[in-house]
Amino acid sequence: MARPAQDITESELSVLRILWDRGPATIRQLTEVLYPGGGAAQYATVQKLLDRMETKGHVARDRSLYVHVFSAALDRDELIGRRLRSLAETLCDGSMTPLLTHLARAKDLTDADRLALRAVIDEPDVGQSTSGRRRRPSRSGENGGSRG
């Protein structure tokens, strides 16, 4: 069972954002971003934070080199989904509809945001398969030709 979204602290989220945006990084690289001009104490803080995150399964450590490299093991979309499901459970008795309705009606959505949201809603197989390998047969026939 997936860990609850509350397992991610703000400090851990800061690290994940760096890893999502920049890709794999060493402790030193992460320390420089999180604490510009920081010293040994800040390095030790980031090291301890990464150790805790690795234990939780939020980051992966590559030990094949002398300097260990960390990468995000938790995908941004997965975290968003977990947090939204948790929020829906807390505020809406588990229903996603009020959250989605609120987002769709938000006044600060751009036209591009609305088009992207409409495209996601109009996709026929959203949420049906996480592998993306199997698709429903097309309406035109059971063999459903390739639409590449």
- pLDDT tens per residue, the chain (148 residues)? 444 444 789 999 999 999 999 999 999 999 999 999 989 999 999 999 999 999 999 999 999 989 999 999 999 999 988 888 888 899 999 888 888 888 888 888 888 988 888 888 888 865 554 444 333 333 334 444 433 3
- Model pLDDT, residue 81: 87
SS3 69: strand
What is the value of pTM for the model shown?
0.69
CA atoms within 13 A on the CB side of 93: 0
- Model pLDDT, residue 122: 87
Fold of 5-72: Arc Repressor Mutant, subunit A (1.10.10)
**Angle of helix 27-34 relative to helix 10-22, nearest 10 degrees?**
110
- Model pLDDT, residue 117: 83
- Model pLDDT, residue 105: 83
Domain boundaries, the chain: 5-72, 94-124
Integer Cα distance of 103 and 32 in angstroms: 35
- Model pLDDT, residue 130: 46
Q: Report the sign of the C-alpha dihedral through residues 9, 11, 15, 18, in that order.
A: positive
The answer to whether the beta carbons of residues 56 and 13 sit under 8 Å apart is no
